[in-house]
Structure 1
Amino acid sequence: MASKRDSLGARLNRGEVAYDFIGNRKLWYGLSILITITAIVALAVRGLNMGIEFQGGAVFTTPKSEVSVSQAQEYAEEASGHTAVVQKLGSGALRIQVGGLDTSQSDQVRTELAKDLNIAEDKIAAELVGPSWGEQIANKAWTGLAVFMILVVIYLAIAFEWRMAVAALIALIHDLTITVGIYSLVGFEVTVGTVIGLLTILGYSLYDTVVVFDSLKEGTKDITKQTRYTYSDLANKSINGTLIRSINTTVVALLPVAGLLFIGGGVLGAGMLNDISLSLFVGLAAGAYSSIFIATPLVADLKEREPAIKALKKRVLAKRASAAAKGESLDESDEHHDSFEDEDHAAVVGQRGRRGRASENRG
């Protein structure tokens, strides 16, 4: 019996406590498919709220103002005739984004804002952003994403095997789809900071997956030389053995990101910092989920299609059925099997010894 002082992680690692993640994989697959479909439908129906960097326009930054965000947004939309996005910065200044403005329109809106906000016009900084710049950023991001995916698949196929590479790739696509879908569902603005955050979460998403894969690779060495565990059993044991580590690393990573998101963004009003932290927060949570509930179960499904692993599963299940029919536990069955092997070995040795002595007597 485990000591009360034993940690849950140690008990999970020893197999004393376990949850059947692999056995319930159809539930996780169904849940993930439902979330992914919801994200895709949201993207198709609502689209993404692209920031000014991607659609072009003007950004106005005012000095400290007592005007509320909602009032400043109303002033900006009346002056420009376009939808405006207003953020309150930590210093009390306002950052006003208005899409679809050219140089002459930007000057006119700046003049109107100065009157409405009761601020000198030369105190309001105006910056024009062309849509071509955002398009270049997006193209480079797509290129970087494609290169990253290819390198990941190649590395995992070499370090582990192609089935693990495929499972990790599916988990990555799952994480990105969910993160982008959440942006679409809630209408968060997609900025350059969002793109940076999305590219950053790829590495975080892989971290937990690789940890579980490494444990699984170590635990399945010479798997066909035994008849006690199936591949799914050992995959489930690997998840449970690394579960506490995965939870700890995810929580430690989420805490500072949550600080950036809720304190840095919500309280201090940090613009791009808010965009980066939001995508990081969603992506980290999705990555932790996919490493446990998607990637490893997929590896088990793919692996158990191999003839050798499929045959092993049949032998293990037959052995368990035989033990159950005899009313024995699997441990007792193993003990009896080992004792029979020892007796057979002793009998063979005895026969050889008798033959040897008979041969000597005849000589």
Structure 2
Amino acid sequence: MSSNETTAEKPTTEWSDDDYVAAKNTSFFSRLYSGTGAFDVVGPRSRRRLYVISAVIMVICVLSMIFRGFTPGIDFEGGTQVSIPASDTVTTSSVSEAFTAALGHDPESVQKAGTGEAATIQVRTETLSHEDAAKLTEGLASTFKINQSDVSSSDVSSTWGAEITRKMVIALIVFLVAVFIYIAIRFDREMSAAALVSLLFDVVATAGVYSIVGWEVTPATVIGLLTILGFSVYDTVVVFDKVEENTRSVFASSRRTYSEQTNLAVNQTFMRSINTTVISVLPIIALIVIAVWMLGVGTLKDLALIQLVGVVVGTYSSIFLASPLLVTLKEMREDVKRHTAKVIARRERAAA
């Protein structure tokens, strides 16, 4: 490495008081792009605010899951799904009315899937007996003047949904344990604990959003949840890797505290996290617009929604929860306390 490269890299880990003052006087976007450490993310006041925000989000999500619950898809709850080709006369409202007229009660849900000639109206209801299924098929065919063979129905057992749920819980536990072990080996126990809390926040917050808005939970939702947890781990590891780099020799100098060096690391990864999030969100939005809105593919809608929510939540937790929590855990250690006191004492002597 040349001397010029060494000189260029040095300010990324060592900043004087004048450097920070100058950085804070620059524009918002300049500070964001340059990663000067001018944004206070892990300072005591900022940490308290972020903990309160995160706690409020968690409480709202947990209360929603307790009192509002979820809207399980037919794959989890079981039931009968009936499909009929859509047309100008076969709409969600007309099919719902025909269903009620045939069986004497309303269906659980009626929605349109697909576009053009492939469009269908899908009716979901509780499990129907053979007699009721035949009555419904005959009633729909008679009402819309179509062949009974054009009306298809299928039953899904709730046992299958229970098996999916059990496997999802097992996969989630295995994933969290594997992440905890990896980060504990790669970094240290405080980083591992902070990363695990961040992942738990992602699970609760994402699930809470689904509960609040009433989106239907399907197997695609489960797949999407496990996918976004992987994204969150990646983002957290990127931030923690920079933190480790900046704090590797923190005790050898009395210029900056562990908290300040961590704050600098977070600032230096801001743009990378933002770019990664934007790059991840854009194809998801494209998936929603093209596959869901234009083509009406219901399964892709479930997958896209969970990923969109999860990417945003994962970015928030890796920066604004995992990093502040890491500093809080580190400041409980005696060596970090002694070093912080030494830095403060040095500054007081310099100011006298």
Alignment-mate amino acid for residue 307 of structure 2: L
Q: Which runs of 4+ in 1 moved over 6 A?
A: none
1:184-223 → structure 2 map (5 Å cutoff): 184-223=211-250
**Equivalent in the alignment of 2:110:** 85
CA contact (8 A) 1:56 1:99 kept: yes
Q: 1:130 aligns with which of 157, 180, 185?
A: 157
CA contact (8 A) 1:87 1:94 kept: yes
1:22 pairs with one of 26, 37, 42: 42
Partner in structure 2 of residue 140 of structure 1 = 167
What is the match of residue 346 of structure 1? Answer: none
CA distance in 2, matches of 1:239, 1:188: 34
- What secondary structure sits across from 1:201 in the alignment? helix
2:85 alignment partner, SS class: coil
Structure 1 stretch displaced more, 117-126 or 71-80: 71-80
Indicate if the aligned counterparts of 2:32 and 2:270 stay in contact, CA closer than 8 A. Answer: no
How much does 1:305 deviate?
1.0
Q: CA deviation at 1:124?
A: 1.7
Residue number in structure 2 paired with 1:332: none
2:339 match: 312
One of 265, 276, 279 as aligned partner of 2:292: 265
CA contact (8 A) 1:9 1:244 kept: no
Per the alignment, residue 70 of structure 1 pairs with 93
Query: C-alpha separation between the residues in 2 aligned to 1:247 and 1:151?
Result: 26
* Partner of residue 47, structure 1: 69
TM-aligned CA deviation for residue 79 of structure 1: 3.7
Give ranges in structure 1 of 5+ residues lacking alignment.
Answer: 327-363
Q: Which residue of 2 aligns with 1:343?
A: none
TM-score w.r.t. the length of structure 2 is 0.86
Gaps of 5+ in 2: 1-21
Shift of 1:274: 0.4
Q: Classify the secondary structure of the residue corresponding to 2:154.
A: strand
RMSD across aligned positions (CA):
2.0
SS in 1 for 2:87: coil
Q: Which amino acid aligns with 2:113?
A: K
Structure 2 residue 176 is matched with structure 1 residue 149: yes
Which residue number in structure 2 is paired with residue 334 of structure 1?
none
1: distance between equivalents of 2:170 and 2:258?
37
Contact 1:39 1:185 in 2 (8 A): yes
| 1:254 matched to 2:281 | yes
Match of 1:239 among 262, 266, 270: 266
1:315 & 1:295 partners in 2: Cα distance? 26
Q: Which residue of structure 2 lines up, in the alignment, with residue 105 of structure 1? A: 132
Matched, 1:33 2:55: yes
**Partner of residue 205, structure 2:** 178
What code does the residue aligned with 1:271 have? G
Checking the alignment, whether the CA contact within 8 Å between 1:56 and 1:101 is kept in structure 2 is no
SS in 1 for 2:294: coil
Distance 2:98 2:257 in 1: 67
TM-score (ref. length: structure 1): 0.83
Task: Name the CA shift for 1:79/1:21 in 2 (closer, same or farther; >3 Å).
Answer: farther
**Cα distance in 1 between the residues matched to 2:249 and 2:209:** 43
- TM-aligned CA deviation for residue 207 of structure 1: 1.3
Kindly provide the CA deviation profile for residues 289-325 of structure 1, in whole angstroms up to 9, marking residues without a partner as x: 001100011111101111111101111112222323x
Distance in 2, matches of 1:255 and 1:208, equals 17
Aligned length: 320
Question: CA offset at residue 8 of structure 1?
Answer: 4.1
2:146 paired residue among 102, 119, 122: 119
The percent identity for this pair of structures is 38
**What is the CA–CA distance in structure 1 between the aligned matches of 2:130 and 2:226, rounded to whole Å?**
33
Which range is displaced more, 309-318 or 79-88? Answer: 79-88
Paired residue secondary structure (1:61): strand
Q: Secondary structure at the match of 1:215?
A: helix
Distance of aligned partners of 1:84 and 1:307 in 2 relative to their CA distance in 1, 3 Å threshold: same
Larger radius of gyration: 1
